[in-house]
Copies of this chain bind each other. A is one copy, B any other.
Amino acid sequence: MESLETTYIFESFKIPECRLSDDFQTLLDNPVYSDVTLVCGHKEFPVHKAILSARSKVFQAMFEHKMLENERSRVEIEDIDGDIMLEILRFIYTGKIQNIDKLADALLPAADKYCLERLKVQCEETLCTTIDKDNVADILILADLHSATQLRQQSIDFINTHLQDVLETVGFQTMIRTHPHLLADAYRAMASLQNNIICPPRKKQRTV
């Protein structure tokens, strides 16, 4: 009977999938017990202060500041489009993002504004895959403006490894005038790069 025992007792359990993210998506779609409405242009989002506060230090501070106002309050958000706010809220409620390929450039500033670090880096990664000689200056300016350090570094690296192609583009020429500090940073990185090529680290020399 030993083989039967093994067959039956250790049969694996069918454990239902974790529904945490899906359940909070349902709450976003059908926001019962919401206690504040975010207004972005023509779109209104009834949401939950508790959830927004738990996920974003910026919303937390905003609601603490607004607590003296009427209970069922409305918050006008003028600098973020409704479509972008929907994705911000989706990230806050579910940890997931949709349409990042289309929206990364607009989502990055919003993710930065609300201190959503993971979303911000996901936008940086998406934007990095779109870098070419014509847009790299604009992407560097965007990354610099919103402290997107990884995208900023990748943009500078791209410029320095494609310098001849990038140098004459309209974007790069504009950047030289409008954001000279970025040119200085790129130039400094190039110097460091050349230095590494000409003088590899000592340890490596010893092993050769």
Binding site for B on A (CB under 8 A): 1, 4-5, 8-9, 11, 13-21, 23-24, 26-27, 31-35, 48-51, 53-55, 63, 94-95, 117-118, 121-122, 124-125, 128, 131, 150, 154, 157-158, 160-162, 193
Contacts and interface: CB of A to CB of B under 8 A. Distances in A.
A169 B28 CA distance: 53
A122 B15 contact: yes
B51 A13 contact: no
Given A33-B53, A51-B27, A55-B23, A118 B8 contact: no
A154 B4 CA distance: 12
Contacts of A53: 27, 32-33
Given A11-B154, A20-B94, 6 more contacts: A13-B128, A19-B55, A23-B55, A32-B49, A32-B53, A35-B35
Nearest to A118: B16
Contacts of A162: 1, 5
Copies in the complex: 2
A33 B48 contact: yes
Contacts of A161: 1, 4-5, 8-9
Q: Among the interface residues A8, A11, A20, A118, which one has the most CB atoms of the partner chain B within 10 A?
A: A20
Nearest to A33: B50
B16 A117 contact: yes
Contacts of A9: 128, 131, 154, 157-158, 161
A154 B10 CA distance: 8
Given A13-B124, A49-B33, A121-B14, A24 B158 contact: no
Contact of A31 (B16, B34, B50, B117): B50
A122 to B, nearest CB: 6
Listed from nearest, the 3 A-B pairs whose CB atoms lie closest are A8-B157, A20-B95, A27-B54
A63 B19 CA distance: 21
15 contacts: A1-B162, A4-B161, A5-B162, A9-B158, A11-B157, A13-B128, A15-B125, A19-B55, A20-B55, A20-B95, A23-B55, A27-B51, A31-B50, A33-B49, A33-B53
